[in-house]
Each structure stands twice: as structure tokens, then as C-alpha cells.
Amino acid sequence: MGLEDGEVSLLKCLELAMFDGVCALTGNQVGEKTGDAREFDTYEKLIHAYHRQVEYITRQAVSMANKSQQIYSKYAPNPLRSCLIAGCIEKGRDYKSGGPIYGHGQILTEGIADTADSLAAIKHFVFEEKSISMSELLSALSSDFENSPEIYSKLSKYKKFGNDDSYVDKIAGEILEHFFRYLNTLTTFRGGKYSGGCSTFERAPGYGRAVGAMPNGHRRGNPLLADSIGATPGRDIKGPTAALKSVMNYNQRLATSGLVFNIKFEKSLFSSEKGKSSFINLAKTYFNGGGQQMSVNVLSRDELAAAKKNPEKYKNLIVRVGGYSDYFVNLSPDLQDSIIMRTGFEL
Amino acid sequence: MSTAVIFNIQRFCIHDGDGIRTTVFLKGCPLRCIWCHNPESQKMSRELMFYSSRCTKCGRCEEICSNRRISDQKLDIARENCTLCGKCIEACLNGANEMCGREISAQEAYAEVKKDSIFYETSGGGMTVSGGEPAMQSDFTLELLELAAKDGMSRAIETCGYGERSFYERANELGTTFLFDLKAADSEKHKRLTGVGNEKIISNLEYLAENNADIVIRLPMIPDINDSDYDIEKMSEIIKRLSGKIKYAEIMPYHNLGISKEEGLGRTPLVNQPNVPKETVEKWIEKFAEFCVCVKQSK
């Protein structure tokens, strides 16, 4: 039984690694001092700094989670739910106080694809091709690309997660594995282990707003951030099989707190028998290949755009985001945009 | 080791044969159908595509290319002087310029096709070679088909039928499904619409039918161009003659998605009609039925 105890934005950790622990939005020192990135002469040194930032921020998240869980267990027990979880009745303890047989804690993650895309771009342009120096990159990021349209264009056009490209997908797999393995070394106040997962639900826009410009072409404060374990919305352009291959590349067995994959299809796919059977075969292949969860929306993009414009006409339009369904018209404009942008595979 | 000029490798194609497929689109076609929906596939050489809707007239490409001039909020390209150097593609911040066509070896293309093997296994899909015309770069196409045959992967080609007999012979030996176009039954008319007569095409089709090939006949139907009662009667005769030797025949109704690509190539489309409504397709199917031929609508 996992508890949703906290969440870590990997993209923010990369920002901290690039700016020696300083937040690009506020100028405050919020991370560790991991060194001036302009002096990193190899990609490995950058990754080392990034790992240190992730570990530092994760320890902070865990320490806060442990405190808040202690408070919850004391002041907000949940006897009904505890009755339904094995171990609680036998031990006479609430599920928040260590009653369950498996008492692990859960820290979720945000921005995996954006971080992988950013690292891939840095690796390629700064360390391999050497066509952009780290100093040029940092100054472009600091100005939110205002004075560097060429750098912005290069970075935005570069390969992205979600297209079955091993260069980026490998990095995504590595950063997720590092985060999950590190989490497993930390313990909850109840004595259990922490485990990782990723399901961004409605929270991704908030994490998008909390980072400055990034090397994947993310503009400062842009709410558009990767949707759970999938691509940054609109960046997976090779169709559903490629998008699925990218997320099948993760070591999903490590994610004991669950990995959510959202995929959206236009209505037209389901208008023919061939379309329906093709969808079934996509899902079968994903689960045979170790996929944990797939949330499916069937909509037309026009329908969503129309719904945003005339909410009164679409009061009954329900969308699924992760394991969560809501009325589209009740969502914030930011989240509505991110759902409209989120891959809609047409045929 | 053969190479070819291709313009796309598209994954999750579900209309080009059984199951989930990956389609390799070859550049170059011996026909010039006036309604062509892949106009960028006609010439075998590389071509520059320019999408004016993405152009902000910022002048960056004008600075580096003497063939480009912005006047009255419009970008003019002297295409006859273009050397396809590709510098405009790098200069553009909005992706308004694209190069269509790249040379690739059969091995490389096949490696890309194989990326979706797990989906073919689940769905009974595989590889389709299309174009353009796969018979025009026959060494490459046959090598792809051989590689697929060796792996037991399902393989199909979409062809206009205007290739050398030896190509169809070898492709059939390799256990290929032929998605075979029939554009007009009358040779004179075929020549007016596509630039070539249809004798060679019909002869290849009959050869394949006689040699137990796996054949689907595809009928691109364009309103007021090849859909008269007479056209349908003549096409029905051919289909009837081959009955029992083909899997089925299907109608591919005209659509206008190729128009923006014609414009991207700096050309004016020869046929520009609205998409075909469902009722028209039903009417065609009824007409074929009057001549005792059952055709499907492509899905």
C-alpha cells in the first residue's frame, strides 16, 4: 500500500545542476552547490551534478513527506480505509501509522521526457558536436531565448522522447532508473522503503510554470510539460507504435508505485473494424511488453477546441487524465490546452 | 546492397494491407496521374518543399540565398536556380522549408521497418513498399522483400503495374501481396489521365493472376474523371475476367490532401475537387454491382 507522499520534478533538478543550485526563476540557492556548469568538460560531469541535485531534492521531499505523514497519522486517521487493507486490523493500527503488511511510501516524479530531451540536446550540441558552448547555452536559457533565436530553433528541432529514438529513450530510461533506485534507499517514518512512480494527473502545468527556459526548447514558465511517462505534448510525431516503444523502453518493473501512460486517439480510428482491431493489438503489444497502465481518450481535436471555446455546449464531455476522469469544461485553461496538444493520432 | 531515394517511412499504417504495418514510400513514378495525392513522389530526385503558411517573411532565408526575394509580404523562390543545398532549411526558424527525398540503403530502411516487429507479431502486419512506384527502384524493393521473406515478415507492395515483368516475377516468388492499381480500363483514356497506356499494366496483372499471386485490385475513383458508367462497365469486365484469381477489388475514393503538397512544390494542382461524399461511393459500388462485380470501399 503506497501513499502519495511527495513529488520531485526532475526538470527542476536539471535546472539546478546547470545553475549551481540556483533557481532560475527566483535567483535563490535552493539546490546543492554542484559547480559552475561552464567548467564541466564532459557530459558525465554534468550527469554527476544532476544526480547530486536529484538526490539532494529527493532527500528534502522525503524528509517533508515523513513529517507530514507523522502529522496525518496522528490527526487524520482513516479507519474505514484501514479496515480494507491487509494487516491493519491484525496490528490494530491505522494504515497511515504502519498498519499494512507492505508499508512503503511513494514519491512520484514529473518531467521525465522534458529532462531526457534537455540532456540529449546538451549531450549532442555541447559535448559531441560542440556547436553550442555551455556558456552560450546558459546565457540563452537565462534570457529565455530572447536573444538567441538560432539556438532556440536548433534545440526545439532536435530529437525528442516519444519517437522510438534510442539516443533519447536511453537517457530517459537511465534518469528514471537512477531516481527510482535512489528512492529505494530511503525509508519512511514507519520503517518501510520509498518507491517511485509517475502519474502527473492535473499537476504537470504547475511544474511547467516552476522552471525557467530549458535545453529542450521549454520556454520560461510554460505550463506544457510531459504527460506522465509520455512525451512532452505535441513532440511525439511518429505515431502510436513509436510512442509506445519509447515508454516500453523504461524498466517498468522498478516503478512499484505505478507508471501511467496516456494516449489519445481521434474518433475516426474506431469507425472501422480494422481501426478497432489495430487499437486492440496496440494495447496487447504494450502489456505483453511490460506496460503497466494505459489511459485512453477517444476524441476529435476539433471537438476539444470547440469545447474550450463553447463550454456550455460540452458540459458532458468527459476526459481521462491518468487514472482520473473529469468534465473537460471544469479543467483550467492550461490543462485544457495541454490535453488538446497531447498527442492525437489520426489516421 | 542497393539504395533508393525514399520520401518517408511511415509507421502504424493500417490501410496498406493486413494488420499494423510500416510503409516505405519510394520516390519516382513512371505515371503522372492528374489527381496524384502524393505529388512529391513523382520525381525520383530530391525536391524542396516550401510551406507558405509557416513562413513569417522574416528574411533569414533571403539573406543566405540569392534565389529568394520577399516583396509585398510574399516570398518568391526562383526554383529553376535552386541547387538543393538545404541552407534555407537550417536558416528557417519555423520549419517552412523541407527537403523531400533522401537516399537510403535497403538494409537501413529494413532496420527502420523492423522497429515495429512486436506490433506485426500481435496484429499479423508487416512491411508495405509504396511510392511512387516500387518497381521503378526494383533492386531496392526486391532486396527489402527478400529481407522480409527471410524473417517471415508479411510483405506487400502498392504498384501502378507499370514495371518490368521480371520484377513482378521475382516479387511473386518472394510471396508478396500485390495492391495493384487499376485507374482506367480504356488505354487511350489511361494515357490521357496518367501519361501512359495500360497494355503493359493489364498484361502484368494477368500474369500475376495466372501465377497464383496474392492480389488486391485498387480502383482510384475520381468524380467526373474516371467514374462514368462506361468506365465502370469496362473496369468491371477486367475484374470479372480475373474473378477467382484475385482476393477482392476495392475503391479508393479521391481525396484532396495532396493539394497542399502540390503548393509546397510550387505547382498548381491539375485536379482540385472536394472530398468524395459517402453517397457517391455507395453509388459507385451499386454501379459495379449492376455489372455483377462486387467491390469494397477501402477502410
- A181 part of contact set with chain B, CB < 8 Å: no
Residues of A in contact with B15 (CB under 8 A): 274, 347
- B51 part of contact set with chain A, CB < 8 Å: no
pLDDT for the residue A345:
59
SS (HEC) of A280-334: HHHHHHHHHCCCCCEEEEECCHHHHHHHHHCHHHHCCCEEEECCEEEEHHHCCHH
Among candidates A245, A275, A288 on the partner chain, residue whose Cβ is nearest the Cβ of B14: A275
- A81 part of contact set with chain B, CB < 8 Å: no
Pairing mode of beta strands B126-130, B154-159 = parallel
- B119 part of contact set with chain A, CB < 8 Å: yes
**A with B: how many residue pairs have Cβ under 8 Å apart?**
57
Contact flag A274-B14 (C-beta cutoff 8 Å): yes
- B56 part of contact set with chain A, CB < 8 Å: no
Q: Helix A112-122 crosses helix A10-18 at what angle (to 10 degrees)?
A: 30
For residue A117, give the 3-state DSSP assignment.
helix
Contact flag A153-B12 (C-beta cutoff 8 Å): no
> B interface mutation test: which of A153, A219, A248, A263 has the most B CBs within 10 A?
A153
Contact flag B119-A241 (C-beta cutoff 8 Å): yes
- B116 part of contact set with chain A, CB < 8 Å: yes
Among candidates A152, A275, A282 on the partner chain, residue whose Cβ is nearest the Cβ of B119: A282
pLDDT for the residue A4:
59
Residues of A in contact with B14 (CB under 8 A): 274-275, 278, 347
Distance CA B112, CA B127 (A): 10
- B11 part of contact set with chain A, CB < 8 Å: yes
Chain A segment 214-253 residues within 8 A of B by beta carbon are 238-242, 245
Chain A segment 101-140 residues within 8 A of B by beta carbon are none
Per the omega criterion (within 30 degrees of 0), is the bond before B132 cis?
yes
Residues of B in contact with A245 (CB under 8 A): 115-116
Contact flag B11-A289 (C-beta cutoff 8 Å): no
Chain B segment 85-104 residues within 8 A of A by beta carbon are 92-93, 95
- A78 part of contact set with chain B, CB < 8 Å: no
Contact A6, A64 (CB under 8 A): yes
Residues of A in contact with B10 (CB under 8 A): 239
**Neighbour-count burial for A166-184, b at 16+ CB within 10 Å, e otherwise:** eebbebbbebbebbbebbe
> A interface mutation test: which of B87, B98, B118 has the most A CBs within 10 A?
B118
pLDDT for the residue A347:
43
Residues of B in contact with A281 (CB under 8 A): 19-20, 119, 122-123
ipTM for this model? 0.88
Residues of A in contact with B119 (CB under 8 A): 241, 281-282, 285
pTM: 0.89
SS (HEC) of chain B: CCEEEEEEEEEEECCCCCCCEEEEEECCCCCCCCCCCCHHHCCCCCEEEECHHHCCCCCHHHHHCCCEEEECCEEEECHHHCCCCCHHHHHCCCCCEEEECEEEEHHHHHHHHHCCHHHHHHHCCEEEEECCCHHHHHHHHHHHHHHHHHHCCEEEEEECCCCCHHHHHHHHHCCCEEEEECCCCCHHHHHHHHCCCCHHHHHHHHHHHHCCCEEEEEEEECCCCCCCHHHHHHHHHHHHHCCCCCCEEEEEECCCCCHHHHHHCCCCCCCCCCCCCHHHHHHHHHHHHHCCCCEEECC
pLDDT for the residue A2:
41
Tens digit of pLDDT at every position of chain A (347 positions): 344 578 999 999 999 999 999 999 999 999 999 999 999 999 999 999 999 999 999 999 999 999 988 898 899 999 999 999 999 999 999 988 889 988 788 899 999 999 999 999 999 999 999 999 999 999 999 999 999 999 999 999 999 999 999 999 999 999 999 999 999 999 988 888 899 999 887 888 899 999 999 999 999 999 989 989 999 988 888 889 999 999 999 999 888 888 999 887 877 678 778 889 999 999 999 999 999 999 988 877 788 888 888 877 776 676 765 555 667 777 777 778 877 776 555 54
> B interface mutation test: which of A285, A287, A345 has the most B CBs within 10 A?
A285
Contact flag A241-B20 (C-beta cutoff 8 Å): yes
Distance from CA of B122 to the nearest CA of A (A): 6
> B interface mutation test: which of A147, A237, A281 has the most B CBs within 10 A?
A281
Q: What are phi and psi of B163, to 5 degrees?
A: -120, 180
Tens digit of pLDDT at every position of chain B (299 positions): 899 999 999 999 888 899 999 999 999 999 999 999 889 999 999 999 998 878 899 999 999 999 999 988 889 999 999 999 999 998 998 888 999 999 999 999 999 999 999 999 999 999 999 999 999 999 999 999 999 999 999 999 999 999 999 999 999 999 999 999 999 999 999 999 999 999 999 999 999 999 999 999 999 999 999 999 999 999 999 999 999 999 999 999 988 777 878 888 988 889 988 888 889 999 999 999 999 888 988 76
Angle at alpha carbon of residue B240, lines to B235 and B241, rounded to 5°? 100
Among candidates A157, A245, A285 on the partner chain, residue whose Cβ is nearest the Cβ of B122: A285
